[in-house]
Chain A
Amino acid sequence: ETGVTQSPTHLIKTRGQQVTLRCSSQSGHNTVSWYQQALGQGPQFIFQYYREEENGRGNFPPRFSGLQFPNYSSELNVNALELDDSALYLCASSPSAGSPYEQYFGPGTRLTVT
């Protein structure tokens, strides 16, 4: 059984650019959540996708957007990058939406904005 995978591992972008991060969910999981972890902080919830629909969003501006595909993989898109967007981006998949279901995390994508 393949776990949660993320690509790329590391990424360097310039302020104002756009970036797309990718996540493949664990087999049998239909829900993906995205988190942003700034240096020295705990992860912050960005949004969750359940069966290709957004299912909850944290306190992030609209330039953070996402997609979930029919195979339940997901993308996180960030437009107009700012220096403060530099962080570790984590995705997690779960068997379904809702709190009883444990989330399984991928290794993360380290984004640096210069």
Chain B
Amino acid sequence: KQEVTQIPAALSVPEGENLVLNCSFTDSAIYNLQWFRQDPGKGLTSLLLIQSSQREQTSGRLNASLDKSSGRSTLYIAASQPGDSATYLCAVYNQGGKLIFGQGTELSVKP
């Protein structure tokens, strides 16, 4: 049974810091992996999708990496801003198109 874990559960950093969010999964037989952002009480905003054949994806200040063999993904946020404060969710696509989510990392960026 696939399980997705995100560490840390919460993170508080001063503005301007670079930071890394971690995601691990127990079954390396995944297809895609996707990172989402969720603001309080809101739906999911897709940040980056990494296909199974890829090692990383970049969008602006965000970079996500995928290592299937070790069952890990990281989301790197450069030069963090208060507007980056949100919960970040990692999800893997298993066979059949079912998304398995982690519990999220709640990020707070202090001005």
Q: For the complex, is B44 an interface residue (Cβ under 8 Å from A)?
A: yes
Count of CB-CB pairs between chains A and B under 8 Å: 71
Q: For the complex, is B96 an interface residue (Cβ under 8 Å from A)?
A: yes
Question: Quick one: which of A33, A58, A100, A105 contacts B44, CB cutoff 8 A?
Answer: A105
- In angstroms, Cα B34 to Cα A100, docked, is 12
Chain B interface size, as a band, is 20 to 34
Instruction: Report A111 CB to chain B, min CB distance, Å.
Output: 13
Q: Identify the stretch in B11-19, B62-70, B76-84, B99-107 within 8 Å (CB) of chain A at 4 or more residues.
A: B99-107
**In the complex, what residues of B have CB within 8 A of residue A42's CB?**
4, 89, 91, 101-104
Q: Identify the stretch in A14-22, A60-68, A70-78, A91-99 within 8 Å (CB) of chain B at 4 or more residues.
A: A91-99
- In angstroms, Cα B104 to Cα A96, docked, is 27
For A42, A90, A98, A110, the residue with the greatest tally of chain B CB atoms inside 10 Å of its CB is: A42
With A90-B43, A108-B42 already in contact, the answer to whether A100 and B99 are too (CB < 8 A) is: no
Instruction: Report B103 CB to chain A, min CB distance, Å.
Output: 5
- In angstroms, Cα B84 to Cα A105, docked, is 20
Q: Do residues B43 and A108 form an inter-chain contact, with CB atoms below 8 A? A: yes
**In the complex, what residues of A have CB within 8 A of residue B111's CB?**
none
- In angstroms, Cα B91 to Cα A97, docked, is 17
Q: Do residues B101 and A43 form an inter-chain contact, with CB atoms below 8 A? A: yes
The 0/1 profile, CB within 8 Å of B marked 1, for residues 3-24 of chain A is 0000000000000000000000
Binding site for B on A (CB under 8 A): 31, 33, 35, 40-45, 48, 55-56, 58, 88, 90, 92, 94, 97-108, 110
Binding site for A on B (CB under 8 A): 4, 31-32, 34, 36, 41-44, 46, 49, 51, 89, 91, 93-104
